[in-house]
Amino acid sequence: MAGVSGCVVMVPSVIAYARLMGMPPQTGLFAALVPLLVYPFLTTSPQVIVGPDIAICLLIVSAVGPLAAGRLGTPDIALFYATPGAMIYFINGLQWSGYKRFDWSVVGESACADSWGRALTTRQPSLSIPCFAERRYGGVLDDEMLMATPPEYLVSAIAGMRALAKNGFRYPFPQYGVQQDVRAGMAVSYPRAP
């Protein structure tokens, strides 16, 4: 009986969520089926409840719906979180062509608002260390930083990261030391003079 009641609640929900995102109803049915089949093999709990969650679905539809429908113009600012290593790789991508020095400051408790506000007013990328509230209530991890940038910088950063990758500079960065012989990396970075 529990399966029937779960189905009665889930089927209309997943169809509605799919339609809200501008997708055919069967997309919601297939998307709901995969977790039901996979999750029991990934959990140690004998009681498993898997299904669409209204809160996360509403967040997704609020972001994806307007994008899918073409109702949004070009964003003013793009925000993303990344580890310090990934962030420096992004910054090096920005600096690949037309090198520019970036200077950033940290104001403390309003880091998110500070970074996007600075990026919006200066039209330059702005890096910040996420504040306490972002970490406590927003789920930002301890090893993440926040970048706010006008979208046009994303294109040049991606082109720069591709160029860096062609030259052997890729993320994640290989660690030399106990796991690998340092001489392999040093020979590439510092070839012997002829």
89 and 46 together in one domain: no
Residue that is written with structure tokens 């609020």 in the block: 62
pLDDT tens across 89-128, in order?
999 999 998 888 888 877 666 666 678 888 888 999 999 8
**Of the candidates 69, 87, 111, which is a domain's last residue?**
69
Same domain, 20 and 56: yes
Can you give the residue range of the structural domain that contains 36?
2-69
179 within some domain: no
Is residue 21 predicted with pLDDT exceeding 90?
Answer: no
Q: Which residue type occupies 179? A: Q
pLDDT(160) > 90: yes
Q: Is the pTM of this model over 0.85?
A: no
Q: How large is the greatest C-alpha to C-alpha distance in the chain, in angstroms?
A: 80
27-31, 108-112, 170-174: segment of lowest average pLDDT? 108-112
In three-state form (DSSP H/G/I as H, E/B as E, the rest C), the secondary structure along 52-116 is: CCHHHHHHHHHHHHHHHHCCCCCCCCEEEEECHHHHHHHHHHHHCCCCCCCCCCCCCCCHHHHHH
| Percent of residues, the chain, with pLDDT higher than 90 | 13
For the cut 80, the answer to whether the pLDDT of residue 129 exceeds it is yes
Domain count, the chain: 2
In a domain, 91, yes or no: yes
Is residue 49 domain-shared with residue 83, that is, in the same domain?
no
Average pLDDT over residues 20-48: 70
Clarify whether residues 10 and 82 are in a common domain: no
Which of residues 18, 41, 69 is at a domain's end? 69
118 plus 52 within the same structural domain: no
Task: In whole angstroms, give the CA distance from residue 101 to residue 130.
Answer: 22
Question: Quick one: what percent of the chain has pLDDT higher than 70?
Answer: 68
Q: Quick check: is 192 in a domain?
A: no
